[in-house]
Amino acid sequence: MPTRIDGRCADQLRPYIFQNHIAPNALGSVLAKCGQTEVICAVSVEESVPRWMKEQQVPGGWITAEYSMLPYSTLDRKPRDITKGRLDGRSVEIQRLIGRSIRAVVDLTLLGQRTLYIDCDVLRADGGTRTTAITGAYVALELAMAKLLQTGKIKKNPLSAQLGAVSVGIFKGEALLDLNYHEDKDAEVDMNVVMTSKGEFVELQATGEESTYSEEDLLKMMTLAKKGMKEIFELQKNCLT
């Protein structure tokens, strides 16, 4: 039975919408909407690799990510990182998470000597911005790979599996899937799960917020996460066909 503030059941995702080709100048782009959370994910290409790859003679290419929350994405204006002269610690953590998650499903040797930049900009934040960014980044990357294949810049698709992410948590003693901001800010346990369509895990981030959780709680959250990810992979497929 629906028990949540937005009328969802405990095991129900928020509505997901993907609007492809939102940024015409990007190699691939999507506006990923998860409930009230909205993130633009766009892929750009540079026909070179980082200097460390050249110096170490590492074959193939590289993929990296940048993440930012736009000033108007939250109820109270969020100052841009550039005004502080440094990246916010949370932004650094999330963009590293996005980058390493994406690289987990890409054969970088098939990219050629090029770097792909994935920019994830949060237009509206209502919980789950990092998971929505990862899920949208995969869609944008698949669109980018299709264009690279079409133009003959790569000969084989380097993607080995779909990639997505979802949040789960314990809120008022109940395990919930896909937490919105209201639930996330007061959750006893907050967990982000990054998975591939092969059922493999890329990253698990589980934190007790001034609380602890049991093995039973963990298993409940994992069951919800797997259910949510199965649905997200289908939504990704549908928007790419």
Alpha-carbon torsion angle 71, 74, 75, 80, nearest 10: -20
Note the pTM of the prediction, 2 decimals.
Answer: 0.94
- Average pLDDT on 197-224 reads 94
- Average pLDDT on 193-206 reads 96
Taking the C-alpha atoms of residue 241 and residue 239, their distance in angstroms, rounded to an integer, is 6
Residues 3-8: contacts with CB under 8 Å, at least 24 apart: 3/174, 4/176, 4/183, 5/180, 5/182, 5/183, 6/35, 6/180
The reported pLDDT for the residue numbered 157 is 96
The reported pLDDT for the residue numbered 88 is 78
| pLDDT tens-digit readout, 172-185 | 999 999 999 999 99
The reported pLDDT for the residue numbered 128 is 96
Q: Is the pLDDT of residue 30 over 70?
A: yes
Taking the C-alpha atoms of residue 8 and residue 1, their distance in angstroms, rounded to an integer, is 8
Query: Domain 16-240 classified CATH 3.40.50.1820?
Result: no
Number of H helices, E strands in the chain: 6, 9
The reported pLDDT for the residue numbered 2 is 67
Bridge pairing between strands 174-177 and 201-208 = unpaired
The reported pLDDT for the residue numbered 17 is 97
Q: Average per-residue pLDDT in the chain?
A: 94
- 85 pLDDT band, cuts 50/70/90, is low
